[in-house]
Chain A
Amino acid sequence: MRIEVDIRKLEDELCDLKMMASSMRQVYPDGSFNHLMEQILIKSANLSQILSAIMVLKSVASDSTKFRM
Chain B
Amino acid sequence: MSIYVERDEPLPRIYSKTAPQLGSVSVVPSAVHGTDPKANLLTVGVTLAQLRDLNSQLSEFNQDKAGANDWVKIATRICRALEVSLECVKGMELSRSDQSSASIKYTQTDSRARISLLSPNQFEYIRLVAIGYSNKQIAETKGIKVSSVNQTLAKAYEKLRVRSRMQAVAVCQQHGLI
Which of A's residues lie within 8 Å of B, judged by CB? Answer: 1-8, 10-11, 14, 17-18, 20-21, 24-25, 28-29, 31, 33-34, 37-38, 40-42, 44-45, 47-49, 51-69
Contacts of A63 in B (CB 8 A): 100-101
Is B141 part of the contact surface with A, judged by Cβ < 8 Å? Answer: no
Q: What is the interface of chain B mostly: helix, strand, loop, or mixed?
A: helix
Q: Is the CB of A42 within 8 A of B40?
A: no
Among candidates B14, B75, B94, B104, residue contacting A24 with C-beta atoms closer than 8 Å:
B75
Q: Using a Cβ–Cβ cut-off of 8 Å, how many residues does chain B contribute to the interface with A?
A: 61
A28 touches B22 (CB 8 A): no
Q: B89 touching A60 by the CB < 8 A rule?
A: no
Query: For the complex, what is the distance from the CA of A49 to the CA of B1, rounded to whole Å?
Result: 19
A selection of 16 A-B contacts at a CB cut-off of 8 Å is A1-B5, A7-B1, A8-B2, A10-B86, A11-B86, A24-B75, A48-B46, A52-B25, A55-B173, A55-B174, A56-B27, A56-B42, A58-B89, A58-B93, A59-B29, A62-B32
